[in-house]
């Protein structure tokens, strides 16, 4: 990889580039080695041109939003990270419709909806990621999911062409979508909400955050819920039944507050987390017959 050529391209596109960026600064688990370079995306056109450059030059690349559902290797990432963050986070409203860039924080979109008196996103308020990441995995909480409000999205397809897709074609299901596990990259999301009372919406959002604070270990770094909900049960229930709450590996621990979370006690490595997750999966399988599956994406 020619870092000088890549830097020239970023300068041309107006994108900030950071060579050897430490991934632990960009994921909520707070561990992870360096990537070869991290580029802050500033538009869909810039993203498409950069992805085309990566593909043409056989450069490994990865997509990162807020990093709230990501596990990064201790060795880092031997390629370029395209970071969809604050440089690509505009939120626009038109009547009951909100369109936002993929790097906009989902919480910020929820706040904008509340300010406009638009209801439908209250239960999504505490999800700590970008709107692009939320759609990618059809994020949800307390009975609501992204599929309930999304009407369309703009994305970059496998040929680096910017396209638009309607929600009915997104294959939105539990923690997956048309984008999951593919080369398709979400660049903007459009949601349609309903008119409501701003004060009532704000109260509902406050109630949602109070629930999260009381039940989840928000004072420790984590990637959110560590395991997907298995059909017929709940990951936290199974982990509790197996007596695994508080189990540790190095600096990683099954939260004593909510066993569905593996947390970083402050000095966890990627190896600690993965070893702990494997132990949990093994014991749960042996004792209950349920096979747990990781929810976070492993950046590799």
Which residues are known catalytic residues? Answer: 175, 225, 295
Scanning the structure block, which residue is given the tokens 């993929």? 102
Q: What single string gives the DSSP state of each residue in 163-232?
A: EEEEGGGS--BTTB-TTTTSS-EEEEEEEE-EE--HHHHHHHHHHHHHHHHHHS-TTS-B-S--BPPPTT
Residues 6+ apart with CB under 8 A from 60: 54, 77, 78, 79, 80
Angle (nearest 5°) at CA 54 between 274 and 38: 55
According to DSSP, the residues that pair with 42 across neighbouring strands are none
Cα(170)–Cα(166) distance, integer angstroms: 7
């Amino acid at each position: 990889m020619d870092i000088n050529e890549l830097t020239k391209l970023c300068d041309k596109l107006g994108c900030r580039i950071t060579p050897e960026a430490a991934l632990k600064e960009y994921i909520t688990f707070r561990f992870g080695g360096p990537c070869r370079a991290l580029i802050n995306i500033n538009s869909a056109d810039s993203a498409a041109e950069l992805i085309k450059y990566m593909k043409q030059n056989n450069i490994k690349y990865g997509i990162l939003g807020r990093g709230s559902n990501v596990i990064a290797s201790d060795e880092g990432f031997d390629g370029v990270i395209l970071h969809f963050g604050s440089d690509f986070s505009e939120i626009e409203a038109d009547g009951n419709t909100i369109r936002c860039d993929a790097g906009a924080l989902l919480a910020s979109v929820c706040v904008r909806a509340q300010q406009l008196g638009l209801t439908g996103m209250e239960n999504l308020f505490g999800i700590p990621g970008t709107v692009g990441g939320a759609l990618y995995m059809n994020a949800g909480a307390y009975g609501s999911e992204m599929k309930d409000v999304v009407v369309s999205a703009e994305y970059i397809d496998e040929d680096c062409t910017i396209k638009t897709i309607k929600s009915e074609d997104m294959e939105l299901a539990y923690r997956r979508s048309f984008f999951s596990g593919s080369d398709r990259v979400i660049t903007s999301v459009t949601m349609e909400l309903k008119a409501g009372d701003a004060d009532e919406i704000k109260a509902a959002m406050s109630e949602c955050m109070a629930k999260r604070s009381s039940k989840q270990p928000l004072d420790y770094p984590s990637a959110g819920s560590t395991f997907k909900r298995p059909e017929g049960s709940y990951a936290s229930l199974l982990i509790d039944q197996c007596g695994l709450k508080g189990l540790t590996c190095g600096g990683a621990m099954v939260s004593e507050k909510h066993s569905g979370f593996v947390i970083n006690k402050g000095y966890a490595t990627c190896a600690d987390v993965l070893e702990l997750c494997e132990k949990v999966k093994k014991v749960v399988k042996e004792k209950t017959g349920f096979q747990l599956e990781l929810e976070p994406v492993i950046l590799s």
